[in-house]
Amino acid sequence: MQYMNNQELKELFTKEDLHITKAVAILLKQAALYTKRIHVLQDSQQLADCENERAKYIYKAIEVATIEKQQHCRLIEDKKRYLDAMNDKYGDVDFINDLKDLKKLVLIYRLENLDEQQQAHHSPEYMA
């Protein structure tokens, strides 16, 4: 994956009018954890692996910011509203049968889990 530095990321967010919501911040924090790891590694294979993971989380942050912009909905902050809508639509979130709705729900829970692991100071490898 292509390396994107902080300045390029800021320019992209400004150009595309993307916002750093809690979901995006979680993903960017995960990328930052890999950046810290990169600074202490000596093994070239480990460096490459960390760079790839860092890039993966940055691009996922961009993807999530784009989704939130398109849907006018923040994944974490508006979770209750989303769950209420899914309960109204399906009767219960356990009965979601639309893949798009299910993917969004899984993404919300995955981001919340990642946030909890970051707050518990787990290593990035544990969180992957």
32 within some domain: yes
Question: Does residue 128 carry a pLDDT above 60?
Answer: no
pTM listed for this prediction: 0.88
What percent of the chain has pLDDT above 90?
74
Q: Report residue 39's pLDDT band, with 50, 70 and 90 as the boundaries.
A: confident
In this predicted model, what pLDDT tens digit does every residue of 45-104 receive, in sequence order? 888 888 999 999 999 999 999 999 999 999 999 999 999 999 999 999 899 999 999 999
70 within some domain: yes
1 within some domain: no
45 within some domain: yes
- Contact 86/105 with Cβ under 8 angstroms? yes
Q: How many CA within 13 A on the CB side of residue 50? A: 18
- Contact 31/54 with Cβ under 8 angstroms? yes
| Structural domain of 27 | 6-127
Other C-beta atoms within 10 Å of 58: how many? 26
Count of domains observed in the chain: 1
